Amino acid sequence: MKYLIIAQLNPTVGDIPGNLSLIRQTLHKVRSQYPNAVVIFPEMMISGYCPQDLLLRPDFIQQCQQGVLDLCPDTKNLCVILGSPYLINDDEGNFSITNAAIVYQDEKILTTYAKQQLPNYSIFDEKRYFTTQKNPAIIRYQNKSIGLLVCEDGWKKESYQYFKNENMDLIISINASPFEQHKPEQRIEIGQDIYQTTQTPLVYANLFGGQDELVFDGNSFIINAPQDISYLPQFQSGAFVLEADWQAENSEHSLTTTLVKKITIEHSNATEFLPLIYHREGPLENLTQVYSALQLGLRDYVKKNKFQKVILGLSGGLDSALTCAIAVDALGADKVIAVMLSSPYTSALSIDLFNQQADLLNIEHHHIKLSDTIDSVENKLLPIWKNLPDNQAISRQNIHARLRGLILMALSNEYNALLLATGNKSELAVGYATMYGDMAGGFSPIKDVYKTLVYQLSDYRNAISPAIPQQVITRPPTAELAPDQKDTDTLPEYPVLDAIIEAFVEKKYSTEQIINQGYDAATVRRITKLILKNQHKRQQASIGTKITTVAFGRDFRYPNTQQWQ
């Protein structure tokens, strides 16, 4: 077994013909140059991950099942391992669905292995869809014994400790592991534990691409020995050819792998993209990883849903400025439209910074003045307002924000452009956003990015090339919906706010635990109360790329109506 080929590809959920085409292209290119190679595709390659309730449709499962069978002729002279939903039946003839690794050898299905550990936390609901079989999978190919794992199996020792007494040559784990900050390091730790437990080299093959709020970063790797790790590129797709040397002189090694070639696989029109900023070998720095994830999440959402362009409100503030830079990097300047929607409280500086950034990025941009429209709406309301308590300050601010949303949605229709919401995680956490106003949009690229990280990413992006005017970064943050308004009028400084949100939302700390870390008690109680109170807003917010352990959405399923404090 001289060659291992890891096909780190970008399937589209539900596009079974398109996904089969990616597989076939890969096998066709491989067969002539590397006969008898082992070709490894990620988890759920045929269906894409995760199909969610498509998996409850018999017709969807049947298409996946037929796809598994139809691939047999394409596996001639190869050993192929790939993931798919797969039907099994028990002794009584009852069918159930597994998340399976399918193993082909020379035009035949050699065996199937059902994922044993079904994750049921965070964004995962696999117990809703799949069953499993307790069947450790060991295959023989060219005098080598190979053990199989599927993703979560590698996170539970009971799934792989079976192999430690089996004199294995290789363990192959196929994965659809979504990106989060520090997740790549966790995968390596898991891989090293598999090696230490089994004393067997490990191939970890991971999915690439964006799927709704999830981003799969690729970043596959091979652990040849405890401190000998071969990394495949992060945030790149392709079929990566590794030459395997099973006779290494170093006694600590039973395997040495060398990356010899990357084979480019042509995607369908739905997944044809501009390159990302960085193409580096090995682990990337944290800010590079996060920025690349945000690019990829937006890029795939736009392209896979067949939008032609994106549009956003560019206000002269930092959140929209970073969102705009990400959009241009992900899609190209010709695919981005920016609109300034000025109100009576919009400063001349904001308008100037809007024009500066639009010129800097060379994007189509428009300035629409809303003063007359705002006056018209308020005049319609004055006969009712005069008989009500004096709450008009907030009402007026929300009118400004909602008129912006109304106009941006109208332009979205006209341009057939996806409207991007530009809010960050800190604002969404405490409800510092207007429903049907600045929350309007079909996708929210920085929804899971804390404000403190927004600053870091903006500086990071400008270090590559100028993309955001420096004064946008240094000016005090403001919504400009009232005279001399500043975010700090109603919120603590962002480093404090973000630390409290992270402790409460991601670490699940109680208010008393957070206060004991040295934060002001009244501030902590006010912020945690706001987080719980504003769940109804977040449930109506657009999806956005997940980069943290607990993103608002499927990670944070709190009830709207509840009284717990």
Active site residues: 43, 115, 151
Q: What is the 3-state secondary structure (H, E, C) of 300-363?
A: HHHHHCCCCEEEEECCCCHHHHHHHHHHHHHHCHHHEEEEEEECCCCCHHHHHHHHHHHHHHCC
Q: What is the CB-side half-sphere exposure of residue 62 using CA atoms within 13 A?
A: 3
DSSP characters for 424-441?
-HHHHHHT-S-TTTTT-S
User: Contact at 8 Å (CB) between 87 and 102?
Assistant: no
Amino acid at 559: P
Residue 367 near residue 354, CB atoms below 8 Å: yes
- The Cβ-side half-sphere exposure at 525, using a 13 Å CA radius, reads 5
Angle at 346 between CA 344 and CA 351, to 5 degrees: 130
Rg (the chain; Cα; Å): 26
The residue to which tokens 């597994």 are assigned: 98
Which residues are registered as beta bridge partners of 295?
none
| Separation CA 252–CA 162 (nearest Å) | 22
Report the SS3 class of residue 141: strand
Helices marked H in 416-547: 425-430, 451-464, 470-474, 494-501, 511-515, 521-533, 535-539
User: Could you give the 3-state DSSP secondary structure of residue 156?
Assistant: coil
Q: How far, in whole angstroms, is CA 181 from its chain's centroid?
A: 11
The Cα 215–Cα 20 span in angstroms is 21
- Chain length of the chain: 565
Token match 């100028």: residue?
466
Q: What is the 3-state secondary structure (H, E, C) of 68-117?
A: HHHCHHHHCCCEEEEEEEEEEECCCCCEEEEEEEEEEECCEEEEEEECCC
Q: Which amino acid is at 291?
A: Y
Cβ neighbours of 551 (radius 10 Å): 25
Q: What are 546's two structure tokens?
A: 């997940």
Alpha helices, DSSP H, located in 362-468:
371-385, 392-415, 425-430, 451-464
Q: 413 by DSSP, 3-state: which?
A: helix
Residues 6+ positions from 165 with CB-CB distance below 8 Å? none
DSSP 284: P
Determine the Cα–Cα distance for residues 396 and 406; give it in Å rounded to an integer: 15
CA distances from residue 171 to 43, 401, 446 in whole angstroms, order as listed? 15, 55, 37
